[in-house]
Amino acid sequence: MPAITITGVDPRFDGDHELDVEAQQFNGWELHIIKKISGLRPLEYQEALEEGDYDLVIALAVVALIRAGKLDRRRFQEAADGLLEAEAGKITMTETPGDASPPQPAPPASGNTGGSGPSGQPLNGSTGHPVNTPTPTGLPG
């Protein structure tokens, strides 16, 4: 489970704060807060974490503080501003072995679960392999 550690920033917020996204999915307010602070939408979280996006770490820290009861959600921007003033390294995100990444929204219910491959070619939703589509010839079929 991911944990946000805040050290030497504000005595009210200092400590380890678990962010168990498996047990409790983000709610609408949390998604709104994350977007306001980081500018990211849910499908962008994983890549942003892999790239070390510090604004996302701050946003997740704010969500963890709200969940821990240390922050009123109406004061999220003020808290984020205060956390951003902290020296680099004072706010860290760690994951314990076996952690899952932040939850991603469920795929659309339209039945199109395929997506596209690196070349933009559609993928078969059940196998993930490229769909072989016939080359258009211009002749009626």
Averaged pLDDT score across all residues of the chain:
80
80 within 8 A of 62, measured Cβ to Cβ: yes
Q: How many helices (H) and strands (E) does the chain have?
A: 4, 3
What residues does each domain of the chain span? 2-95
Task: Express each pLDDT in 29-66 by its tens digit.
Answer: 999 999 999 999 999 999 999 999 999 999 999 999 99
Q: What's the chain's Rg over C-alpha atoms?
A: 20
- pTM of the full structure: 0.67
Task: Express each pLDDT in 74-105 by its tens digit.
Answer: 999 999 999 999 998 999 998 765 545 555 55
DSSP letters along 81-140, please? HHHHTSPTTSEEEEE-TTPPPSP-PPPPTTS----B-TTS-BB-TTT-SBP-PPPP-SS-
